[in-house]
Structure 1
């Protein structure tokens, strides 16, 4: 029987401040758009490949609005049907729209219709622009009506900075050898690398050891260690 670590790890930091747009103008523009979003604003679509930070920004937006006393409703491909609009919610978030099945596409379109003119803001994410989404035409039109931002992956130096900052936030010492290994042996999608860092933190706690390259290799060889989702 393995000893389980105590729940003393730092929770995920989903905030605008923890999102690093890097040098990409589109990332900066998306961040500015969300920071200035108000109830009743035009729908916003964030799109791009896995790991560019779309879900992070949606969660950061939800956190900011809830901290301001607003009600937020979240819908994604795993959200059970039926989807209802809580009348008190002023922000609706649709995550991973490209994966909505037909019933959820219908539900999302219905929410667009029901909230029209009601002072509700809608922000959605997808892996491609609205025009290319495999969804019903009326929903595609709604998703593409307002501002649309193509988020871009960070460069290597920027990815290093994000991983180091997250390690520091967790009180972890992330050595150059371990960081080099992560960036050369794994896909550089930031979401997957962050999950891997969290997984390594948990593994290190359970073994009462610091973060080292041998510990990472031990974790990867451990059949009881949960896998990392490379598409996060």
Structure 2
């Protein structure tokens, strides 16, 4: 198991690299990094998140944007970056089935906590109260909190006015989608990160036949990497086509 994989598992289940007690039964599906995220129009947001992961900068930040703009990637990557620096970091996806408010217990002692899918608990009185209490606790500890949702904090359907107010205290960034040229650059960079080379024909084929949001493109590259490693050859259009078909079958 690679060091990056061990860090990913540590962050996801709520431990630091000192083998402290496990908290969260969640695993990261991959090993996202801040360097892998192509900023495009979101450079300021990425820089702010990187500073938080380093233990400096803003104490609180709220990300929002449509699905596929990379919110989850940035939250997970920030936690991994913090863990690599020896800090204690936790990633909490509220959209995960079976999570209850108790999952936040004692997490205020973490250096960085990233909470995703805030919209998933809107209207749940127990969750909203617990999230408000946690917000106050982690601020009192002087630690950092990243949050993300599909919509801006002032448009979430929250019933607790104090929570709604708290979520508007810090900077907020709406992640904008990448244009086609930036998506092509993301494809090439992600492939190179995996040790693959994409020819212009392969890039063009992907852009014409696959969803163009960053999440879909990075997922395809990860699947293509598995095919390429298994067959010990660089990606070709037939190999890309098979990776796409495999993803369609996996998605039902």
TM-score range, shorter chain: 0.7 to 0.9
| Mapped partners of 1:225, 1:210: distance in 2 | 23
Instruction: Identify which of 158, 177, 181 aligns with 1:153.
Output: 177
User: Secondary structure of 2:107's match?
Assistant: coil
The alignment status of 1:131 with 2:154, answered yes or no, reads yes
- Report 1 or 2 for greater relative contact order, CA contacts < 8 Å, sequence distance ≥ 6: 1
| Mapped partners of 1:191, 1:223: distance in 2 | 13
The answer for unaligned runs of 5 or more in structure 2 is 6-29
Higher helix content, 1 or 2 = 2
Q: What do you get for the CA RMSD once the two structures are aligned?
A: 2.9
The alignment status of 1:57 with 2:74, answered yes or no, reads yes
Matches within 5 A, 1:62-77: 62-77=79-94
Instruction: Identify which of 89, 105, 129 aligns with 2:110.
Output: 89
Paired position in structure 2 for 1:16: 34
* Structure 2 CA distance for partners of 1:133 and 1:206, relative to 1, 3 Å: same
The answer for unaligned runs of 5 or more in structure 1 is 1-6
Indicate conservation of the 8 Å contact 2:79/2:89, yes or no: yes
* Structure 2 CA distance for partners of 1:221 and 1:75, relative to 1, 3 Å: closer
Superposed displacement of residue 106, structure 1: 3.5
Taking structure 1 as the reference length, the TM-score comes to 0.80
| Mapped partners of 1:222, 1:34: distance in 2 | 34
